[in-house]
Amino acid sequence: AYLAARRTGVAFMTTYHSGYSEQNRLKNLYNSVMVRGRRVIAVSDYMARLIRQRYGTPEERIAVIHRGVDPAVFDPARVDPAGLEALRQGWNIRPRDKVILLAGRLAARKGQAVLIEAAAQLNRQGMDDFVCLLVGDLQGREKYRDAILTAAARQGLAGRVRFTGHRADMAAIYALADVSLCVSENEGFPRVALEAQAMATPVIVSDTGPGREVALTPPDAPPDRATGLRVAYNDAGALAAALADMLAWPEERRRAMGRRGSAFVLGRYTVPVMCARTLKVYRQVIEETRR
């Protein structure tokens, strides 16, 4: 596409979604095509910094446009209580169980194994009123799923881990959860954290990548403005401590945090906002090419 654009004189633009692997100089050169356009759209401030560090791309050629959620889909007002109860019954979740959600494709970098270790620590502390809900496409990784289930059973968590596979009803599942995790190794701008907050569910995010952008977390945000908690990546102890803290809160405290999260996301990270900003950049580039 880059060469075709050069030959035809058409403006070349790209969107830089994630921290593409830099295994060697050849791979770095290949990836650099992503920043050779007249404008590069970065999906987060973190990605914009990464682009500048890796390629020396001038700041004026980078446009930060955060990804957004569809407010017509991720709307807490549309939650059907009967539907939530059907989900609880279908997954055999007891009324007293807190639901810890980790949404995302099944992959080690998404943090499923870290969640199991954190849950085991909670179990050893005497907490027995929670369920871990792992939602996402297996992508042929049945062996990894089985290893997770084996580890859970070995840690005394048999019956407390649910793999659901891919689901189309994510808005309801976020609403079902008491806390949603986004503890991946790295993301360009993790949509699952946005979706959970939009549905008024508190989040726990990792301190990698755009963790500080995707949620308002202490110590950057005061407790009465926070929409979630932030923990060190791949630190099961830190995750267990954050979960124990949040799940011990009174229900109204979690709900208040959830309401702040919904206002935070729906006020700035929506598809209409994303589209409007994207079209503005395209119009600017078109005007530049006409000069």
pTM as predicted: 0.92
Q: Which residues pair with 102 in a beta bridge?
A: 134, 181
How many helices (H) and strands (E) in the chain?
12, 9
Contact 71, 101 (CB under 8 A): no
CA pair distance 74, 46, nearest whole angstrom? 25
pLDDT in tens, 93-121: 999 999 999 999 999 889 999 999 999 99
User: Strand, coil or helix: what is 287?
Assistant: helix
Burial class (CB in 10 A: 0-12, 13-18, 19+), 261: buried
pLDDT in tens, 167-176: 999 999 999 9
- Structural domains of the chain, ranges and CATH numbers in brackets: 2-68+270-290 (no CATH), 76-266 (3.40.50.2000)
pLDDT in tens, 27-36: 676 677 788 8
| Tokens 């880059």 sit on residue | 2
